[in-house]
Structures are given as structure tokens and as C-alpha cells.
A = this chain, B = another copy of it.
Amino acid sequence: MSEKVEAEMKEKKKKKEIKITPIEHGTVIDHIRNGQALKVLRILDLVESDIDSIVSVAMNVDSSMGKKDIVKIENIELKDEELDKISLISPEATFNIIRDFDVVEKHRVEIPEVAEGIVRCRNKNCISNQNEPVRSEFEVIGDDPVTLRCEYCEREMQGEEISENVI
């Protein structure tokens, strides 16, 4: 491509940038593993429920560490349990808290040592899946990749097994 054409393309690209209205208060979850954004919406209960907040999602966006997803939600601050769930499916995720249009806090999610009541065991015969008054419980035995071991049946879970079973 000639330099002139390249410069014209760049100019055109700049003009067509779409501006998204900023949020006054809310949370931006960044560096979500690509393909996991809708799972994050499900964790935050933003899929089926009627919500009024502006939610924006970008999937397969280029970043320095490869493709990533981003979720931005107005008027919400994340609960610890929600952050734990996100950490299990996207350990590199960060969350930025926005107040008065400014990022006032920026954190990385932290993988918990124990995951209680937030993931179903992949073993259908596990006591935690038998409608007994038993809360699922996993020890986190690895973080790259995230690996869980069920406290009841000792079954181990990784990757999609986890993301498909996050409650």
C-alpha cells in the first residue's frame, strides 16, 4: 500500500470511530478471556433479568496479550462472590470502579483458595449434586490453568469444565 493510501485509510478509520457514551458510575471488567464475556453477564445476572442499566460488551478485541473481551456496566459494583466466579473463568480479569466518570479504583480479580457454592461438580453422582443440603466446595489446587478439586468426590476440574459449571 502506498504511503498516501495508507494515510487516507488511517484518516478514514479515525473519522469512523464510534463513541460510546461514558458511564457516570459503574464498573468496567477488562481483560476477560475472549469468549467469556457472555458468561460474565450470566454471572452478574444481566442476561434474563430486566435491567435498566447501560451495559456494553466488546468481544475479541485485540490487546497486547492477545484477544480479550470487555464488559462495562452502569450503576453496579461487583459482589465478592461474583468476583470469585469471574476469577475462576478469567484469572487475568481486572475491574475498574467508575465514579463521576473517573476510574477511582483498579483491581485484578483474585482466585480464592476455596470455592464454596459457586461451581457445580462435574460429577453428576457427587453428593453435592443429589439435592442434599450440601453446599458444593472445591479446593483450588492450581492457578495456571485454574484447577479445582471437589472436597466430596475429589474429582478435578479445569477450563471449560469450570466455565460450564459456574453457578
Q: Check: A19 CB closer than 8 A to any chain B CB.
A: yes
* A55 engages B50 (CB within 8 Å): no
Distance, CA A21 to CA B102, complexed state (A): 21
Distance, CA A135 to CA B43, complexed state (A): 36
Contact mask for chain A residues 39-57; partner B; CB cutoff 8 A; 1 contact, 0 none: 0010000010011111111
* A59 engages B50 (CB within 8 Å): no
Task: Report chain B residues within 8 Å CB of A52.
Answer: 60, 67
Size of the A side of the interface (Cβ < 8 Å), in residues, is 33
Distance, CA A58 to CA B74, complexed state (A): 11
Q: Check: A142 CB closer than 8 A to any chain B CB.
A: no
Chain copies in the assembled complex: 2
Residue of B with least CB distance to A14: B22
* B12 engages A101 (CB within 8 Å): yes
Residue of B with least CB distance to A11: B101
Known: A9-B101, A54-B60, A57-B58. 18 other contacts (CB 8 A): A13-B22, A15-B101, A16-B22, A16-B101, A17-B19, A18-B72, A19-B19, A19-B20, A21-B62, A35-B50, A38-B41, A38-B47, A51-B59, A51-B60, A52-B60, A54-B61, A55-B58, A56-B58
In the complex, the 9 A-B pairs of residues with the closest C-beta atoms, listed nearest first: A16-B22, A55-B59, A57-B57, A16-B101, A56-B58, A17-B19, A18-B20, A54-B60, A12-B101
| Residue positions of A touching B, CB distance < 8 A | 9, 12-13, 15-22, 35, 38, 41, 47, 50-62, 67, 72, 100-102
